[in-house]
Amino acid sequence: MPETTSLGSHSVGIVGASGYTGAELLRLLASHPNFDLKVATGDSMAGERLADLYPSLAAAYGDRVFDTYSPEACDGLDLVFCGLPHGVSMGVIPDLRGRVGHIVDLGSDFRLHDASLYPEWYGAEHTTPALLDDFVYGLPELFRPKIEGAELIAATGCNAATAVFALAPLLDSGLIQGDGLIVDLVTGVSGAGRPPKPTTTFCAVDEDVTAYGLLTHRHTPEIEQALTERTGVATSVLFTPHLAPLNRGIIATCYGRPTAKATTADALAAMADFYQDEPFMVVDERSPSVKATLGSNTVHLTARVDPRTGLVMAIATLDNLMKGASGMAVQNANLATGVAETTGLPLVGVYP
């Protein structure tokens, strides 16, 4: 990982600070030495104290309240995080651009390069397709040179990031084929956001595991796009997520067909080489645990080659609100503003 320097203080804002990713951004910014929070909007909670919605923030933010959003409120900020629901950022960012130095969008509105994929996978036309080419895809370990100094960054989705982290080293090394990849993923309920839904209430998720988005999950083209762009291998992915009774965390078990005879040692070596010197990536023979990543910006990975079936298996775990969302966003923001990439981001998880 190239060295970057910590440069002074940067004024930042959060548009959409009342959701779970906003709360996690607020937590991280409270101890970030280079980012000075100036604006934190949450229109559904405007005028309410941050600590009344999230008591965990009380020591850092006291009586501070959520601001009402307006583009003018962000004038002159060095960087803005957008933590808005899908479909909202594409209406907000055109008015923000030019008022602020950098924008990191945590949503999905600008992740796909091809505007025609949005009606197919998201069920609606993209309203600002001309901006898609102006955004860089915010997955630092794979696309760092494009992110450094970038004005517009579309941070990677949590499900997509987990799958891509597991599969990219094996594709890049030529160890597996690009077609017929299978991603079997389990995710925590916080990934669905703060607003309650019939499928995410306590009674719905407790003691239950449910597969969803069968054959149609919107992160599928994002996974394929990132893998193909980084490795140069055309990919096709069958992606099946499962909702589990976890507050946070993701584990993805991924399968591919080998291109030639290989061993587990080969697969682990490919992973270790790909992520060499990456501070947030842990490659080990040990089976990854969701709990091990809790509260950290770190990804845990392993791989196996099964001589009986001939399949190659790769596993990755991460905290969906950290490396899968807000931690990833801060890492991107650090790169965009010239701050040392690891600044303000915990390497070690919370245990027990």
What would be the CATH architecture of the domain defined by 159-320? 2-Layer Sandwich (3.30)
Identify the pLDDT of residue 196. 79
Q: For 181-200, write each residue's pLDDT tens digit.
A: 999 999 999 998 888 788 89
Identify the pLDDT of residue 193. 87
Bridging pattern class, strands 312-318 and 299-305: antiparallel
**Quick check: 115 pLDDT over 60?**
yes
Q: For 292-336, write each residue's pLDDT tens digit.
A: 999 999 999 999 999 999 999 999 999 999 999 999 999 999 999
Identify the pLDDT of residue 197. 87
d(CA 257, CA 178) in angstroms, rounded, equals 8
Calculate mean pLDDT across residues 150-167: 98
Mean pLDDT for the chain overall: 96
- The pLDDT > 70 percentage for the chain reads 98
Q: Does the structural domain 10-156+323-337 have CATH classification 3.30.2040.10?
A: no
Tokens 């959701």 sit on residue = 19
Tokens 């009774």 sit on residue = 245
Tokens of 313: 């298996």
DSSP3 helix / strand / coil % (the chain, rounded to 5): 35, 20, 45
d(CA 136, CA 335) in angstroms, rounded, equals 12
d(CA 247, CA 215) in angstroms, rounded, equals 25
Tokens of 25: 């951004």
Calculate mean pLDDT across residues 243-270: 97
**Quick check: 6 pLDDT over 60?**
no
Q: Helix, strand, or coil here: 246?
A: coil
Identify the pLDDT of residue 4. 43
Residue 340's Cβ-side half-sphere holds a number of Cα atoms within 13 Å equal to 12
* β strands within 52-200, DSSP E: 79-82, 102-105, 136-138, 152-155, 181-187
d(CA 350, CA 290) in angstroms, rounded, equals 11
d(CA 12, CA 325) in angstroms, rounded, equals 17
d(CA 187, CA 209) in angstroms, rounded, equals 10
**Quick check: 23 pLDDT over 60?**
yes
- pLDDT band for position 77 (50/70/90)? very high
Q: For 197-247, write each residue's pLDDT tens digit.
A: 888 999 999 999 999 999 999 999 999 999 999 999 999 999 999 999 999
Q: For 262-289, write each residue's pLDDT tens digit.
A: 999 999 999 999 999 999 999 999 999 9
Which residues carry out catalysis? 158
**Quick check: 13 pLDDT over 70?**
yes
Identify the pLDDT of residue 3. 42
Identify the pLDDT of residue 82. 98
Calculate mean pLDDT across residues 123-139: 97
Which range (129-133, 197-201, 248-252, 254-258) has the least confidence?
197-201
Identify the pLDDT of residue 194. 87
Ranges of each domain in the chain:
10-156+323-337, 159-320
Instruction: Report the chain's terminal Cα–Cα distance, integer Å.
Output: 30
**Quick check: 5 pLDDT over 80?**
no
**Quick check: 2 pLDDT over 80?**
no
Bridging pattern class, strands 79-82 and 10-15: parallel
